[in-house]
């Protein structure tokens, strides 16, 4: 560490707590609250509106001003570091870019600099995903093209979800537009780190291609109506073992209600099995003739709460649950057999479906158990506006739903080919101008 004597620094009284504003690249007002050194080797402490302090140094050697967040708002500590940096700059022993920032530090710095945007649910999901995929301590400047391609393949194929968690093979869905948006956000993060946060010398993925993504052969099987009726016919025969009066007994499981809610609402099984009594909005109204469910943000991929009306099938399933297990408050609608404080598990829900398929004598579909019924729900509503169907079924956007869930049948393709309506000649002339 370089020892610095006060006399060696050219610091005038006017530079201390100088009331001077600067506009940064994002357009925010910032204030220089301390300056040390002299022209050519000057260090400034800058306070953002959010209170976070930044240190900025101009080096004659580097011929550039470099800046980074200190990650705190303690002005006394900031002054000490500024004085230290002046001595290092004079001796040519260090610059602000000595420290190699980890992905976790860059994300934290960006969140401090963009507090409002950092509260967005989609942004929080992306931060969680990139931390899970690369790790908090990962040095972004060491990312290789093979690592980059590996990430694109995992996300594009649906092997990992939007939070970086591994997805069961039976529930994987190819990802397109959301991956493009996630990568665009990561590029903007690294651009901020390089040009505003002064944490990186350049963007580490600047010349890495994003698309075309690895070619994936998506499996998008859709349940038929015949399959739905066959499963429903045996739904009440799917049993579960519980302890009653100290003895293990087989009783009717909650599969029938889970299944009818999946077919009636089009929602993911993960969201359905974690419903709570407090999520129910059963008072009937003009817009909710059979009541509604306030699907909580905790089980929504976009961290949004969405209130969607029920149809008769879904309402009947809810009524059966309330008749069999009446309750109020935050308890789970479908509690785990061995622990009522927990929701029925993902693995048990899958087990229920496999048992139902065996009882109904229907073959299992390739790499899907519950999701084929969500695709059926979307496909059955292809005659409606995409935006409306996407909102009703809880999709992130209409494009995602169209690409992965709505499947055109050969009969629909034939209908489109045979049912052309000639365009009015005046319209054609207008289009050709």
Residues 86 and 115 in one domain: no
Number of domains observed in the structure of the chain: 3
In a domain, 370, yes or no: yes
In a domain, 410, yes or no: no
Residue 330 is part of a domain; what is its CATH number?
1.10.443.10
Angle, alpha carbons 325-331-332 (nearest 5°): 75
> Of all residues in the chain, what percent carry a pLDDT higher than 70?
80
Residues 231 and 173 in one domain: no
- What is residue 210's predicted lDDT score, i.e. its pLDDT? 61
In a domain, 405, yes or no: no
- The CA distance from 107 to 189, in Å, is 8
Over the stretch 352-404, which tens digit does the pLDDT of each residue have?
Answer: 999 999 999 999 888 789 989 999 999 999 888 888 998 999 887 777 777 76
Enclosing domain of residue 270: 226-399
In a domain, 369, yes or no: yes
Residues 240 and 337 in one domain: yes
In a domain, 411, yes or no: no
Residues 158 and 52 in one domain: no
Contact 242, 249 (CB under 8 A): yes
What pTM does this model have? 0.59
Residues 48 and 181 in one domain: no
Domain boundary (33, 66, 91) is at 91
Over the stretch 48-78, which tens digit does the pLDDT of each residue have?
Answer: 877 888 887 765 555 556 677 777 788 888 8
Contact 267, 374 (CB under 8 A): yes
In a domain, 417, yes or no: no
Residues 175 and 116 in one domain: yes
In a domain, 260, yes or no: yes
Residues 129 and 187 in one domain: yes
Residues 111 and 253 in one domain: no
The pair phi, psi for residue 341, each rounded to 5°, is: -80, -10
Contact 318, 311 (CB under 8 A): no
Residues 241 and 390 in one domain: yes
Over the stretch 234-289, which tens digit does the pLDDT of each residue have?
Answer: 999 999 988 877 788 899 999 999 999 999 999 999 999 999 999 999 999 999 99
Contact 222, 407 (CB under 8 A): yes
Say if residue 329's pLDDT is above 60. yes
Contact 375, 222 (CB under 8 A): yes
Residues 269 and 184 in one domain: no
Q: Report cis status (omega within 30 of 0) of the bond before 212.
A: yes
In a domain, 238, yes or no: yes
Residues 86 and 130 in one domain: no
Residues 245 and 120 in one domain: no
Most confident region among 27-31, 231-235, 383-387 by mean pLDDT: 231-235
Element at 29 (helix H, strand E): strand 29-38
């Amino acid at each position: 560490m370089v020892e610095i004597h006060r006399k060696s620094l050219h610091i005038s009284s006017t530079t201390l707590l100088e009331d001077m504003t600067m506009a940064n690249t994002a357009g925010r007002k910032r204030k220089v609250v301390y300056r040390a050194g002299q022209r050519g080797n000057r260090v400034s402490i800058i306070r953002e509106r959010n209170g976070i302090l930044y240190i900025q140094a101009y080096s004659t050697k580097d011929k550039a001003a470099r800046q980074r967040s200190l990650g705190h708002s303690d002005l006394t500590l900031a002054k000490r570091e500024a004085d230290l940096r002046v001595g290092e700059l004079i001796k040519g022993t260090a610059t602000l870019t000595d420290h190699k920032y980890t992905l976790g530090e860059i994300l934290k710095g960006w969140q401090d600099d963009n507090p409002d945007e950092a509260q967005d649910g989609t942004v929080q999901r992306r931060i969680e995903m990139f931390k899970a995929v690369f790790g908090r301590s990962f040095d972004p400047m060491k990312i290789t093209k093979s690592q980059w391609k590996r990430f694109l393949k995992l996300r594009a194929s649906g092997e990992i979800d939007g939070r970086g968690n591994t997805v069961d093979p039976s529930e994987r869905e190819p990802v397109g537009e959301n991956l493009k948006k996630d990568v665009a956000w990561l590029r903007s993060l690294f651009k901020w780190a390089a040009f505003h946060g002064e944490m990186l010398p350049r963007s580490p993925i600047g010349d890495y291609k994003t698309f075309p993504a690895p070619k994936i052969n998506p499996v998008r099987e859709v349940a038929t109506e015949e399959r739905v009726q066959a499963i429903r016919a045996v739904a009440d025969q799917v049993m579960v073992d519980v302890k009653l009066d100290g003895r293990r007994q087989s009783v009717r499981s909650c599969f029938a209600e889970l299944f009818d809610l999946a077919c009636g609402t089009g929602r993911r099984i993960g969201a359905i099995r974690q419903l709570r009594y407090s999520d129910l909005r059963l008072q009937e109204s003009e817009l909710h003739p059979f009541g509604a469910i306030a699907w909580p943000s905790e089980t929504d991929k976009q961290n949004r709460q969405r209130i969607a009306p029920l149809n008769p099938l879904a309402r009947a399933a809810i009524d059966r649950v309330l008749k069999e297990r009446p309750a109020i408050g935050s308890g789970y609608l479908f509690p785990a057999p061995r622990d009522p404080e927990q929701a029925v598990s993902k693995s048990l829900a899958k087990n229920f479906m496999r048992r139902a398929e065996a009882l109904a004598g229907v073959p299992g579909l390739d790499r899907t158990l519950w999701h084929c019924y969500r695709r059926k729900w979307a496909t059955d509503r292809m005659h409606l506006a995409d935006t409306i169907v996407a909102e009703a079924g809880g999709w992130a956007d209409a494009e995602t739903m169209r690409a992965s869930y709505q499947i055109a049948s050969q009969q629909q393709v034939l209908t489109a080919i045979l049912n052309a309506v000639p365009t009015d000649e005046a319209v054609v002339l207008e289009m050709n101008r």
